[in-house]
Amino acid sequence: MQNTPKSLRTHIAIMGKRNVGKSSLLNALTRQQAAIVSEFPGTTTDPVEKTMELFPLGPVVFIDTAGIDDKGEIGHLRVDRSLRVLKHSDIVIVTTEVSSWGKYEKDLINIIKKRNIPLIVAINKIDLSDKTNNISQWLEKNAIYYIKTSAISKKGISGLRQLVIDSAPAGRFSNIGLVGDIVSPRDLILMVGPLDIEAPVGRLKLPQVQLIRNCLDHNACCLMIKETELGYFLSQLTNPPKMVVCESQVLAKVADKIPTGTLLTTFSVILARFKGELEIFIDGAKQLKNLKTGDKVLIAEACTHPPVGEDIGTVVLPQLINERVGGKITFEMCSGKDFRYSDLKRYKLVIHCGACMLNRQELISRTKTAQEQKVAITNYGLTIAYFNNLLDRVVQPFKKTNCQTISPFSPRTQKTDSSILANK
Ligand SMILES: Nc1nc2c(ncn2[C@@H]2O[C@H](COP(=O)(O)OP(=O)(O)OP(=O)(O)O)[C@@H](O)[C@H]2O)c(=O)[nH]1
Ligand SMILES: [Mg+2]
């Protein structure tokens, strides 16, 4: 795990009609021939991703999409696939050119604005025409950041890079990370996890690695032990740890062993706060008590690997819920990118995995869609905590009075009017 995983990179999508120069802009921004460019409309057929470091933003992934006008063969499929990219985009660069600007771009911009995704318009090919008044006026009236570019002469490319950096959501730059607002220098955080059949061979899971790094960033210490060793190590410590973070499967056992004054949480809770909206997931967990025979529950797994052994999503949770609810609930599963965005109303509750493989924007999109369709949503770990009567305890460390909150939507820097009128 030497490269930054994609789920932790800022996702920057380049969208617009066919042939406006999206792939050329990607190549200019990354200074590489990452995507194929040609004079024929419809060259890019599937999203192309290019990862890079964008200083000082850090690790990013640029996503070049297929042109979204529905002309040409299989137009609608292409449009659908490109619009799906919005679900995990942190920033969108809408690309246009003087000769093709029109209703399509305005509609696309409105869709992006509705989703609260930071947006920049690149008016490309200005080496061919810089009669941009009409476009600039509309963008200024709607307070949208824009820049004139030429992917050929490279005019405006460094300005576009800067606008991307300025538009990045604040949370990306926060060094709070997973628990930075809870730990102080020299605190001890104890991680407890089973090295069970689901643990990756020869390494730790991504959230475990992230937690170790986050504690080191804050001059705290993070130790990891197996749950079988918890009693022994607790008895050896002069002072109890500041917080114990465990995998949800061992929550009940761990809660029994640690002192009541020690903060206790699970990776599921930490991820729900870091990636999505913990409060919404807590409300969702409280809906578990309202489930009754005949209700449908969607289990959403972000990983696509086949279930292993007593898989938590396919085996453990359905058994637990049916047992506790005392009824016959129907469970349906979805995995990977295949989330039932348009079809959530059929479910009483969505139970999501910890989502360590999804980026934050995608989990927020899923949460918002569930809310729009008035369907409760929670995650695996909060469900387990709820049924163990430990929900209040595991969210206690993150009560607003105990920590700072991170807004995913506020921009990193407050832009001035001069950057709205960039390169006018
Ligand atoms: N003059 C000029 N030509 C450009 C510019 N940017 C791109 N082009 C040309 O426009 C054509 C289309 O460029 P692409 O980058 O393939 O466009 P695209 O938007 O990715 O197109 P699709 O993948 O088909 O949607 C190519 O011939 C490019 O060389 C520019 O800034 N100025
Ligand atoms: Mg292209």
The residue whose two tokens read 């700072």 is 404
Which of 45, 52, 43 is CA-nearest to residue 21? Answer: 43
Q: How far is the CA of 40 from the centre of ligand 1 (A)?
A: 9
pLDDT of residue 71: 62
- Angle (CA) 175 404 353, round 5°: 75
Which of 54, 46, 44, 51 is CA-nearest to residue 23? Answer: 44
Is residue 141 scored above 80 in pLDDT? yes
DSSP 312: I
The answer, yes or no, to whether any atom of ligand 1 lies below 6 A from the CB of 43, is yes
Q: How far is the CA of 148 from the centre of ligand 2 (A)?
A: 19
Identical fold, 6-173+413-420 and 277-387 = yes
Whose atoms come closest to the Cα of 43: which ligand? 1
Name the E strands within 4-152: 10-16, 48-54, 58-64, 91-97, 119-124, 145-148
Q: What would the pLDDT profile of 275-299 be if each residue is shown by its tens digit? A: 777 899 999 999 999 999 999 999 9
> What whole-number distance in Å separates Cα of residue 274 and Cα of residue 397?
13
In angstroms, the Cα distances linking 222 to 215, 216, 255, 294, 340 are 6, 8, 19, 45, 38
**Closest-lying ligand 1 atom to the alpha carbon of residue 24:** 15
Is residue 175 scored above 90 in pLDDT? no
pLDDT of residue 16: 93
Of 360 and 119, the one with more pLDDT = 119
The answer, yes or no, to whether any atom of ligand 1 lies below 6 A from the CB of 65, is no
pLDDT of residue 69: 73
Supply 26's token pair: 């990607």
pLDDT of residue 408: 38
Domain boundaries, the chain: 6-173+413-420, 188-271+398-402, 277-387
Q: HSE, CB side, 13 Å, CA atoms: give it for residue 155.
A: 15
Is residue 171 scored above 80 in pLDDT? no
- Angle (CA) 322 328 331, round 5°: 75
The number of residues making up the chain comes to 424
Residues around ligand 2, an ion, CB closer than 5 A: 22-23, 43-44
Q: What is 6-173+413-420's CATH topology?
A: Rossmann fold (3.40.50)
Which of 208, 206, 207 is CA-nearest to residue 225? Answer: 208
**Whole-number mean pLDDT of the chain?**
85
pLDDT of residue 378: 95
**What's the pLDDT band for 315 if we cut at 50, 70, 90?**
confident
Cβ neighbours around 367 below 10 Å, total: 20
Which of 47, 29, 113 is CA-nearest to residue 83? Answer: 47
Q: How far is the CA of 337 from the centre of ligand 1 (A)?
A: 29
Evaluate whether 216 touches 162 at the Cβ level (below 8 Å): no
Q: Which residues contact 68 (CB under 8 A, 6 or more apart)?
A: 15, 16, 17, 18, 78, 79, 82, 83, 104, 108
For residues 67-91, give the mean pLDDT: 73
Is residue 2 scored above 60 in pLDDT? no
Q: What is 277-387's CATH topology?
A: Rossmann fold (3.40.50)
The answer, yes or no, to whether any atom of ligand 1 lies below 6 A from the CB of 19, is yes
pLDDT of residue 412: 42
97 strand-pairing partners: 124
Runs of H (alpha helix) within 237-277: 251-257, 267-275
CA-closest residue to ligand 1 atom 14:
21
333 strand-pairing partners: 299
The answer, yes or no, to whether any atom of ligand 1 lies below 6 A from the CB of 18, is yes
What is the separation, in whole angstroms, between the first and last Cα of the chain?
44
Q: Which residues contact 154 (CB under 8 A, 6 or more apart)?
A: 28
Whose atoms come closest to the Cα of 48: which ligand? 2
Is residue 59 scored above 90 in pLDDT? no
Contacts 24+ apart (CB under 8 A), 273-280: 273/398, 274/177, 274/178, 274/360, 275/355, 275/358, 275/359, 275/360, 275/363, 275/364, 276/355, 276/360, 276/363, 276/364, 276/366, 276/367, 277/364, 277/367, 278/395, 278/398, 280/367, 280/371, 280/377
Helices and strands in the chain, H and E counts: 16, 14
pLDDT of residue 393: 95
For residues 311-340, give the mean pLDDT: 86
Evaluate whether 82 touches 109 at the Cβ level (below 8 Å): no
Percent of residues, the chain, with pLDDT higher than 70: 86
CATH architecture of the domain with range 188-271+398-402: 3-Layer(aba) Sandwich (3.40)
> What whole-number distance in Å separates Cα of residue 273 and Cα of residue 354?
10
Peptide bond into 411 cis (omega under 30): no
Q: What is the four-CA torsion angle of 133, 28, 80, 352, rounded to 10 degrees?
A: -120
Question: Which amino acid is it at 324?
Answer: R
Of 356 and 377, the one with more pLDDT = 377
> What whole-number distance in Å separates Cα of residue 335 and Cα of residue 274?
21
122 strand-pairing partners: 95, 147
DSSP 292: -
For residues 16-39, give the mean pLDDT: 91
Mutate to test the pocket of ligand 1, among 14, 15, 24 (most ligand atoms within 8 A of CB): 24
pTM score over 0.75: no
Find the range with the poorest average confidence among 156-170, 319-333, 389-403. 389-403
Q: How far is the CA of 229 from the centre of ligand 2 (A)?
A: 55
> What whole-number distance in Å separates Cα of residue 391 and Cα of residue 138?
49
CA-closest residue to ligand 1 atom 26:
39
Q: How far is the CA of 37 from the centre of ligand 2 (A)?
A: 6
For residues 401-420, give the mean pLDDT: 43
